[in-house]
């Protein structure tokens, strides 16, 4: 996916971090622009169209969440948060504010590049989503409500199916409990995380080879779930 034309904006106030990110991302084939504070970052984002932004939350002049919200007013491209803040409520609020993914420092560069790649792919595939998906032995026809595992048809309830479709559409992206509840059950179900727990457990039972060691439906502790389409 990384072509030399893919431009990433990095907003981080630590010089060492900026240097490390530049090396990591450039060696992965991206074009990198650096900003050392919120003002500079927002100015850059306003004047140039990037493909993705990597954003630190602890900026000296403005909280990263505010920067995120500001950029989100005009841009839909992936924004990945890279922060030392590791408390779940920080992560959840960043995701709810429109971040596509969240990594806590210290992070592994391989992980960052992988997440960035996934986010970019999800962003581009959304615009051209296909009704039929096939991942590692799982076949899903979203239009005709058909699900097969290793060629065998799998019976899913309408809710399970809706949940599965939501995961497939956001493959690779962290979905918070509240986001899932809102999309599948409706806004009244906010906070009722027992529904997501039960239904994800059922999906695992029906679709995973080993439900105790899931490879598709991963739990993000304290945050939500991430569906991995190891394509």
Binder among 58, 96, 219, 231 for other proteins (CB under 8 A): 219
Is 140 within 8 Å of 147 (Cβ atoms)? yes
Give whole-number Cα distances, 180 to 95, 148, 184, in Å. Answer: 12, 23, 6
Print burial letters for 147-172: b (CB count within 10 Å at least 16), e (below 16).
bebeeeebebeeebbebbbbbbbbbb
Q: Which of the residues 139 through 198 are near other proteins (CB under 8 A)?
A: 157, 159, 177, 193-195, 197-198
Residue number, 150 or 157, with CB nearest to other proteins: 157
Question: Considering the rule CB under 8 A, would residue 214 count as an interface residue with other proteins?
Answer: yes
3-class SS at 55? Answer: strand
Is 38 within 8 Å of 59 (Cβ atoms)? yes
Question: Considering the rule CB under 8 A, would residue 109 count as an interface residue with other proteins?
Answer: no
Residue 150 CB, nearest distance to other proteins (Å)? 22
Question: Considering the rule CB under 8 A, would residue 213 count as an interface residue with other proteins?
Answer: yes
Question: Considering the rule CB under 8 A, would residue 106 count as an interface residue with other proteins?
Answer: yes
- Could you tell me how many residues of this chain bind other proteins (CB under 8 A)? 20
Residue number, 27 or 89, with CB nearest to other proteins: 89
Residue number, 84 or 132, with CB nearest to other proteins: 84
Residue 73 CB, nearest distance to other proteins (Å)? 30
- Identify the CA nearest to 186 among candidates 164, 220, 159: 159
Q: Between 36 and 75, how does the x/- string for binding to other proteins read (CB under 8 A)?
A: ----------------------------------------
Is 142 within 8 Å of 131 (Cβ atoms)? yes
Residue with tokens 């306003």: 46
Question: Considering the rule CB under 8 A, would residue 130 count as an interface residue with other proteins?
Answer: no
Residue 196 CB, nearest distance to other proteins (Å)? 9
Per the DSSP assignment, residues forming a β-bridge with 7 are 31
Which two tokens mark 179? Answer: 């986001």
Residue number, 97 or 228, with CB nearest to other proteins: 228
Q: Identify each DSSP E strand in 68-199 by its residue range.
A: 79-83, 101-104, 132-135, 138-141, 146-149, 152-153, 174-176
> Which residues bind to other proteins, rule: CB under 8 A?
88-89, 106, 157, 159, 177, 193-195, 197-199, 201, 212-214, 218-219, 221-222
């Amino acid at each position: 996916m990384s072509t030399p034309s893919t431009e990433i904006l990095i907003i981080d106030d630590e010089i060492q971090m900026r240097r490390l990110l530049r090396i990591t991302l450039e060696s992965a084939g991206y074009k990198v622009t650096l900003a050392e504070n919120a003002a500079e970052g927002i100015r850059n984002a306003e004047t140039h169209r990037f493909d993705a932004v990597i954003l630190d939350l602890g900026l000296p002049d403005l909280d990263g969440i505010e920067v995120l919200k500001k950029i989100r007013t005009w841009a839909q491209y992936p924004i990945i948060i890279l922060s030392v803040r590791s408390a779940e409520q920080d992560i959840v609020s960043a995701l709810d504010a429109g971040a596509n993914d969240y990594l806590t420092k210290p992070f592994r560069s391989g992980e960052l590049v992988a997440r960035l790649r996934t986010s970019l792919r999800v962003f581009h595939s959304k615009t051209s989503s296909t009704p039929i998906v096939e991942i590692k032995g799982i076949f899903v026809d979203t239009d005709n409500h058909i699900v097969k595992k290793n060629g065998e048809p799998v019976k899913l309830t309408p809710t399970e199916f809706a949940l599965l479709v939501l995961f497939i559409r956001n493959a690779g992206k962290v979905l918070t409990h509240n986001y899932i509840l809102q999309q599948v059950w409706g806004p009244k179900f906010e906070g009722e995380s027992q529904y997501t727990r039960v239904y994800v457990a059922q999906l695992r039972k029906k679709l995973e080879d080993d439900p105790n060691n899931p490879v598709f439906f991963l739990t993000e502790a304290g945050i939500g779930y991430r569906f991995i389409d190891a394509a």
